[in-house]
Amino acid sequence: MRFRPCIDIHNGKVKQIVGGSLKDAGDQARENYVSEQDAAFYASLYRETNLRGGHVILLNPKSSPYFEDTRKQALKALKAFPGGLQIGGGVCPDNAQQYLDAGASHVIITSYVFRDGRLCWENLEKMKSEVGKEHLVLDLSCRKKDDAYYIVTDRWQKFTDVEVTPEKLRELGNHCDEFLIHAVDVEGKANGIEKNLAELLAEYGEKPVTYAGGVGSMEDIRLLDIYGQGLLDVTVGSALDLFGGVIPFDELKKLDKMPGMIKN
């Protein structure tokens, strides 16, 4: 297990929000933490500790009056840690290469590929052709419905008809380099992980998978390592001390150097 840091940007500021509370109307979200530091500050910190593979997420739609401020913050982060961060939020063939040129190692996509509630293979092929699958991360963030996990798009507001299963991950894994999966129902609540989702993701075990959502303590990280069979990376937002939480950043940055973390 590796720790993958994050920089979530909303209304031009680095924030931690409750994932399910995000609304495009009025650019609203329930906030857990609003940083006084800019995105470059966090990117520089991650660079100094050599924490690669973290993600920068733009949480405003392009139609938002805050979008340009949010985008500027994201570009500052990429400049501060060239080659060390992935970026997502409104990524499409028109802008993907610009983000890679600005320093992103990968682009993260969801909404462009899942259109009108369905998986659009044509759009996925366009993205893969534009940047190469070695630079592509699929965000399969999901919410539970009818005892199954379904991919949600448009900043986690719209359900698709695509269920997250090991078989679907194998199918999509032929078209990307990694997966990022937020458990949206617990995202930002720091109140425990989605154990069933972790077990499901562990059944896949081929490409790197980063789990996000509900981590509130080092015990939650231990449980994620157990239910994920040591195959999942983890990102921590609201619970991290950098964002007002209780989990020490100095502990997490050593995570992949902790042998035998799983203890029964």
Report the pLDDT averaged over residues 125-142: 96
pLDDT for the residue numbered 28 = 52
The span from the CA of 242 to the CA of 263, in Å, is 27
pLDDT reading at 229 higher than 50:
yes
pLDDT for the residue numbered 19 = 53
- 117: alpha, beta or left, given left = phi > 0 and alpha = psi -120 to 50? left
For residue 263, what pLDDT band results from cuts at 50, 70 and 90? very low
Name residues whose C-beta falls within 8 Å of residue 59's C-beta, 6 or more positions apart in sequence. Answer: 8, 9, 10, 15, 17, 22, 29, 70, 89, 155
pLDDT reading at 118 higher than 70:
yes
256/193: higher pLDDT: 193
Q: What is the mean pLDDT of the chain?
A: 90
- Lookup result for tokens 């077990």: 199
Tell me how crowded residue 102 is: count the other CB atoms within 10 A of its CB: 16
DSSP state of 247: B
The span from the CA of 210 to the CA of 248, in Å, is 19
pLDDT reading at 68 higher than 80:
yes
pLDDT for the residue numbered 264 = 38
59, amino acid identity = L
- Residue 64 near residue 24, CB atoms below 8 Å: yes
Q: 127-160 in b/e burial notation, b at 16+ Cβ within 10 A?
A: bbebbebebbbbbbbbbeeeeebbbbbebbeeeb
Report the pLDDT averaged over residues 64-75: 95
For residue 27, what pLDDT band results from cuts at 50, 70 and 90? low
Compute the residue count for the chain: 264
Report the pLDDT averaged over residues 70-76: 97
pLDDT for the residue numbered 37 = 96
Q: Percent of the chain beyond pLDDT 90?
A: 75
Q: What domains, with CATH codes, occur in the chain?
A: 6-256 (3.20.20.70)
